[in-house]
Amino acid sequence: MTPQQARLECRNGLVAPTAGMAAGFTQCNMISLPKDWAWDFLLYAQRNPKPCPVLDVTEAGRFDTALASGADLRTDLPLYRIWRDGKLAEEVSDATDAWAEHPDLVTFLIGCSFTFETPLLEAGIEIRHITQGCNVPMYSTNRACRPAGRLQGPMVVSMRPIPADRVADAVTITGRYPGVHGAPVHIGDPASLGITDLARPDFGDPVEIRDGEVPVFWACGVTPQAAVMASRVPFAITHAPGHMFVTDIPDSRWHV
């Protein structure tokens, strides 16, 4: 499936996690905010680049992006979340009506760790949530992001179980992709991140952790949604966790 085909499928109603879809092309987290909140958010992202690496920002009121030719950000993601006063109001597969409520939305596209899953797979490192055909597990942590203006909140992480003898390889490989979360922020010991039960993620689905595997945690682009909740942002549209925007940009763009 090409990125264009993936976006068209979503526009035509496909609702599914996008892990593994159009492999080799960059997927993005999305958050749209009224222009009045755009400065606070861009500053929040600058101050928290591991969870919030910004890959593109639209002009206010626009829904096109330099990352994907012909895309419409209102319809081309498989599933959206509409937030009101910091609370999840609804999930929709087409955000056109919600978008129309605010004529000056500024949309931020944020790097996603799915980007480095292809090189991990190529190195023979299994990605459990792809094997299981489910969404990646994500957890809120006890690590506060550095605040900016009215925005504050915890860092959210994604977790992949990695065999102990491949953890160093996973660090080395993902560390070469700083634009899409880069190296893990934490390896092993979920309790010290404030995670009490790996089987009950805050977002996404639980995955099996086998003997000899270590839970490895990467900063996650759902962190802005945690900030929306913690900061009671009046209005926001985001992707639903794991249901990303598929761009035309090859993953190799972010390799250093």
Which residues of this protein are in contact with a second copy, per CB under 8 A? 38-39, 42-43, 46-47, 54, 57, 66, 146, 175-176, 178-179, 182-183, 256
Our CB check for a second copy shows the closer of 22 and 38 to be: 38
Give the dihedral sign, CA 195/197/202/208: positive
Our CB check for a second copy shows the closer of 16 and 66 to be: 66
User: Considering the complex, what minimum distance in angstroms separates the CB of residue 170 from a second copy?
Assistant: 14
Our CB check for a second copy shows the closer of 36 and 90 to be: 36
Our CB check for a second copy shows the closer of 45 and 246 to be: 45
Our CB check for a second copy shows the closer of 143 and 243 to be: 143
User: Considering the complex, what minimum distance in angstroms separates the CB of residue 37 from a second copy?
Assistant: 11
User: Considering the complex, what minimum distance in angstroms separates the CB of residue 210 from a second copy?
Assistant: 29
User: Considering the complex, what minimum distance in angstroms separates the CB of residue 182 from a second copy?
Assistant: 6
User: Considering the complex, what minimum distance in angstroms separates the CB of residue 103 from a second copy?
Assistant: 18
